Amino acid sequence: MKYCQVFKLLKTICLGVILFTVVGCASIPEGQIRSKKDPWEAMNRNVFAFNQSLDDYLLIPIARAYQFVLPETVRTGISNIFANVGDVYTALNNFLQGKPKSATDDLIRVFVNTTMGLGGIMDVASMAGVEKHAEDFGQTFAVWGFGEGPYMVLPLLGASSVRDTVGWVFDLETDILINLINDIPLRNSITGVRVVDQRVRFIGASELLDSAAIDRYSFIRDSYFQRRRYKIYDGNPPPQEDDDEILPVKVQPTLK
């Protein structure tokens, strides 16, 4: 299957990161409060350092060149195309989470943007007031009652948890742009543009973090858990007695 090549590439990268982790020098800052959700913090910090170096010396320069070469309208069109494809498996996850109305809205978005929006270049559905959602298999597993497990920092992919890492594998298997494109150079080129497009969207946030006197690792970890919890509960998370406990998330599917 097409995603096997992706796994081979990631396997090679992971082996390199493991070697980097063994000889790495990243350590937990003195006085830093240890999180119960992050029992693998020392290893995670080494992978985080690897990702940060890759970002600083490769991804950010490419993203800035991408911004410089392509006009904003072109970049927006490219982002819209990727978002339109994303609505397909968002619909799938909404169905699996027991939210048929949201899933139907997602499919309407795909139909409208693919036809009237010239293949997704224009987000006509949003202009028409059709709500956009963002769902993945990690969120679906949370709705099904699976606990998030410990925090993980994945090579290239960044912040994750055990549950979301398993979910990412399912996301990859259902990814249209990986599984339905037979031409390998074309598929790799599209994947590269997709990565750069995602990175461009967060350049401003990276610059803000760089200017703040904080432990970037801890900030990203804590923000990750807060953001995932917000998304799992569709923007309305219930009160939580202890935010630092590793607990399964139990969500009752709601009809929307």
pLDDT tens per residue across span 162-174: 999 999 999 988 8
Res 208: pLDDT: 75
Residues 6+ apart with CB under 8 A from 179: 1, 2, 3, 173
| Crossing angle between the packed helical segments 41-54 and 216-232, to the nearest 10 degrees | 100
Phi, psi at residue 105, to the nearest 5°?
Answer: -60, -40
Res 34: pLDDT: 78
Residue 26 has pLDDT above 80, yes or no: no
Confidence of residue 256 (pLDDT cuts 50, 70, 90): very low
Q: Which of 1, 27, 38 is nearest to 149 (CA)?
A: 38
Confidence of residue 25 (pLDDT cuts 50, 70, 90): low
Rounded to an integer, the average pLDDT of 20-39 is 68
Rounded to an integer, the average pLDDT of 135-156 is 96
What would the two tokens of residue 181 be? Answer: 């494109």
Confidence of residue 181 (pLDDT cuts 50, 70, 90): confident
Phi, psi at residue 249, to the nearest 5°?
Answer: -95, 120
**What distance in Å separates the CA atoms of residue 11 and residue 31, rounded to the nearest whole number?**
35
Percent of the chain with pLDDT over 70: 80
Conformational region of residue 156, where left means phi above 0, alpha means psi within -120 to 50, and beta covers everything else: left
pLDDT single digits (tens) 43-82: 999 999 999 999 999 999 999 999 999 999 999 999 999 9
Res 8: pLDDT: 55
The overall average pLDDT reported for the chain is 85
**What distance in Å separates the CA atoms of residue 153 and residue 47, rounded to the nearest whole number?**
6
Residue 177 has pLDDT above 50, yes or no: yes
Rounded to an integer, the average pLDDT of 190-200 is 94
**What distance in Å separates the CA atoms of residue 155 and residue 60, rounded to the nearest whole number?**
16
Res 202: pLDDT: 87
The residue to which tokens 């969500």 are assigned: 251
Res 182: pLDDT: 85
Mean pLDDT comparison of 204-208, 212-216, 232-236, highest-scoring range: 232-236
Rounded to an integer, the average pLDDT of 213-242 is 88
Res 153: pLDDT: 97
The ranges assigned to domains in the chain are 1-23+38-69+149-166+181-232
Q: Which residue has the higher pLDDT, 107 or 32?
A: 107
Residues 6+ apart with CB under 8 A from 171: 89, 136, 137, 138
Res 96: pLDDT: 97
pLDDT single digits (tens) 98-132: 999 999 999 999 999 999 999 999 999 999 999 99
What's the predicted TM-score (pTM) here? 0.82
Res 158: pLDDT: 94
Rounded to an integer, the average pLDDT of 80-100 is 96
